[in-house]
Structure 1
């Protein structure tokens, strides 16, 4: 029968080997909005040309960082792993605990405000739910 559902375990192994588990899980994920914030530390970037490359709506990567100034530091990077700054210290305690517990968080640029020579990058923080 043409519409019959079959399970082929050998095909699943081939799919995982070729594409990785992440590609299998992506259709089953959703992002849950948690919080509005901004990227702190953009004025301290060694190469601020990254600020010219970002746009509203861009997805960003959040990564915990071992930081001597803030034990809850969360680095904010572009998808290409270019450093933008940090989740502000005043906002990061709950998010760092979630990440330390194995939860995956992401961010998305909601607005870029030009204030003279300074650019404030506003972000939404999301929990990736599987």
Structure 2
């Protein structure tokens, strides 16, 4: 508990604002080539900074920790990679609000969309 107090005090004396969110992961979306991601990129419906939805898919036959990445109007773009999704899936299962946005788009890449996933900073 003391460490939280010291962190809050440091922000107070330094005059800096505390970040509003905690970045959990920056990664490429897997499987986007199987969905409409490239068509959405080419039609300029996807852009850097765009907010995305994350949805758990515990019934996925390949990965019980699967997390789908969707646009705001629920068009599927792909999945968070299996090697990174366990902690984020656990947070989502505990109903912790987890958010994502497009960080980078590279149309020539095999997996063209990079996202940043974050959660709201806990208040203490």
**What TM-score do the two structures reach when normalised by structure 1?**
0.69
Q: Note the alpha carbon deviations across 1:18-42, whole angstroms, 9 max, x for none.
A: xxxxxxxxxxxx4322111111101
Structure 1: 5+ residue runs without aligned partners? 1-29
In structure 2, the residue matched to 1:34 is 24
Structure 1 contact 59–107 (Cα < 8 Å) conserved? yes
Bigger CA radius of gyration: 1
- The count of residues paired between Structure 1 and Structure 2 equals 100
Q: Would you identify which runs of 4 or more consecutive aligned residues in structure 1 move more than 3 Å? A: none
2:95 to 97, 102, 110: 102
**Measured at CA, do residues 125 and 47 of structure 1 come closer, stay the same or move farther in structure 2, by a change above 3 Å?**
closer
Q: Distance in 2 between matches of 1:48 and 1:111?
A: 14
Residues 1:51 and 2:41 are matched in the alignment: yes
SS at match of 1:122: strand
Structure 1 contact 50–84 (Cα < 8 Å) conserved? no
Q: Note the alpha carbon deviations across 1:69-126, whole angstroms, 9 max, x for none.
A: 110000000111111000011110110011111111111111001226x451001001
**Measured at CA, do residues 92 and 47 of structure 1 come closer, stay the same or move farther in structure 2, by a change above 3 Å?**
closer
Structure 1 contact 34–125 (Cα < 8 Å) conserved? yes
1:79 to 72, 75, 97: 72
Q: Distance in 2 between matches of 1:81 and 1:89?
A: 21
Structure 2: 5+ residue runs without aligned partners? 1-19
**What TM-score do the two structures reach when normalised by structure 2?**
0.72
RMSD of the TM alignment (CA)? 1.9
